[in-house]
Amino acid sequence: MSAPPLPVPFSPPRLLAFDLDGTLIIEQGLFVPDDSRAALTRLRAQGVKVAIVTGRDQPPPGVLEATRPDAVATHNGGRVEIGGELHSQLHFSSSELEAVLAHQLGGARVMAFTAEAVYIDTAPGMVVPDWLSRREHFPLAQAPRQAVTKIGFYHPGVASWRDELRSGDYGHLVYTGAQAPYPDFLTVTPGGADKGAALSIIAEQFGIPLAQVTVFGDSDNDEAMFMVAGRAVQVGDLPLLRPYAHDQVPGPEALGAYLHALADELERIGGLARPG
Same structural domain, 198 and 185: no
Does any domain span residue 228? Answer: yes
* 102 and 126 within one domain: yes
Q: How confident is the model at residue 135 (pLDDT cuts 50, 70, 90)?
A: confident
Instruction: Tell whether 6 is covered by a domain.
Output: no
Based on the domain organization, do 76 and 150 belong to the same domain?
no
Residue 275 pLDDT grade (very low, low, confident, very high; cuts 50, 70, 90):
very low
Q: Are 168 and 181 in contact (CB under 8 A)?
A: no
User: What is the CATH number for 232?
Assistant: 3.40.50.1000
| N-term to C-term CA, the chain | 39
Q: How confident is the model at residue 7 (pLDDT cuts 50, 70, 90)?
A: low
Condensed to tens digits (0 to 9), the pLDDT of residues 165-219 reads: 999 999 999 999 999 889 999 999 999 999 999 999 999 999 999 999 999 999 9
Answer with the one of 189, 216, 241 that is the final residue of a domain.
189
pLDDT digits (tens, 9 = 90+) for 28-51: 889 999 999 999 999 999 999 999
pLDDT in the model for residue 98: 96
Q: Closest by alpha carbon to 195, among 146, 241, 131?
A: 241
| Final residue belonging to a domain, choices 135, 157, 189 | 189
Asked if the structure places residue 183 within a domain, the reply is: yes
Q: What is the DSSP letter of 200?
A: H
The identity of residue 203, as a single letter, is A
In a domain, 2, yes or no: no
Q: What pLDDT does residue 1 have?
A: 42
Decide if pLDDT at 156 tops 70.
Answer: yes
Question: Is residue 130 classed as helix, strand or coil in its secondary structure?
Answer: helix
In this structure, is residue 214 part of a structural domain?
Answer: yes
**Confidence at residue 68, expressed as pLDDT on a 0 to 100 scale:** 97
Number of domains in the chain: 2
Q: Is the pLDDT of residue 130 over 90?
A: no
Q: Are residues 225 and 258 in the same domain?
A: yes
pLDDT band for position 15 (cuts 50, 70, 90): very high
Residue 43's H or E segment, with its range, is helix 34-45
Per-residue pLDDT, 123: 66
In this structure, the answer to whether residues 85 and 203 fall within a common structural domain is yes
Whole-angstrom distance, CA of residue 110 vs CA of residue 122: 7
61-88 pLDDT, tens digit each: 999 999 999 999 999 999 999 999 999 9
Q: 263 lies in a domain?
A: yes
Expressed as residue numbers, the domain containing 213 is: 15-89+194-268
β-strand pairing of 137-139 with 118-121: parallel
C-beta separation of 87 from 80 below 8 A? yes
What is the pTM for the complete model shown?
0.92
Whether residue 82 is found in the same domain as residue 200: yes
Mean per-residue pLDDT over the chain, rounded: 92
- Residue 263: the pLDDT is 96
Q: Judge if 64 and 110 occupy the same domain.
A: no
Q: What percent of the chain shows pLDDT beyond 70?
A: 91
- Is the pLDDT at 222 greater than 50? The verdict is yes
- What pLDDT score does 9 carry? 56
Query: Does a structural domain hold residue 50?
Result: yes
Query: Is 35 found in the same domain as 172?
Result: no
Report how far residue 43's alpha carbon sits from residue 38's, in angstroms, rounded to the nearest whole number: 9
Shared-domain flag, residues 104 and 179: yes
Residues 6+ apart with CB under 8 A from 142: 119
Question: Domain with 179 in it: what CATH number?
Answer: 3.30.1240.10
